[in-house]
Amino acid sequence: MAKEWEQAANGGQAGSPPPQSVASQLKDMTAALWTSRERTKFILLFVALVAVVGATAYAQVKLNACNKPFYDPLAHKKNSMFIEQLLVFAELAGPLAHPQRRPDLAQSKRQSCHVQ
């Protein structure tokens, strides 16, 4: 039984070398990438990916801080304040959905969000 397991682990051949460790495979992949002509393109794409993810996370944090006045009336069940904030949201989202109609409105409302 042990011999069958060993053969299955070695790809079905008894004389095959044992499989490489993950660290060894990563080392081989890094060496292959480092000698590749596409190395620069890969590094630039990786840096761009990290920059986009970082910018998205930063924007999400700022957006969440700006949404505090919208969510507070919901938490405290203040309907009049919620309706007021819902109208502010509609004024912000409307131009973003149709920017050719009122591009100046979105800018003026964005300035009303007091985020530092």
Query: In terms of residue numbers, what domain contains 41?
Result: 19-59
Q: What is the CA radius of gyration of the chain?
A: 28
DSSP 54: H
- Say yes or no: 115 and 73 in one domain: yes
- pLDDT > 50? residue 116: no
Please report the pLDDT score of residue 4 as a whole number: 58
Please report the pLDDT score of residue 11 as a whole number: 56
Please report the pLDDT score of residue 102 as a whole number: 54
- Other Cβ atoms less than 10 A from the Cβ of 71: the count is 12
- Say yes or no: 74 and 48 in one domain: no
Average pLDDT for the chain: 76
Q: Which residues have C-beta within 8 Å of that of residue 21, sequence separation ≥ 6? A: none
Between residues 66 and 14, which one has the greater pLDDT?
A: 66
> How many domains does the chain divide into?
2
Structural contact between residues 94 and 108, judged by C-beta atoms closer than 8 angstroms: no
- pLDDT mean over 93-104: 62
Query: Which position has the token pair 């460790």?
Result: 21
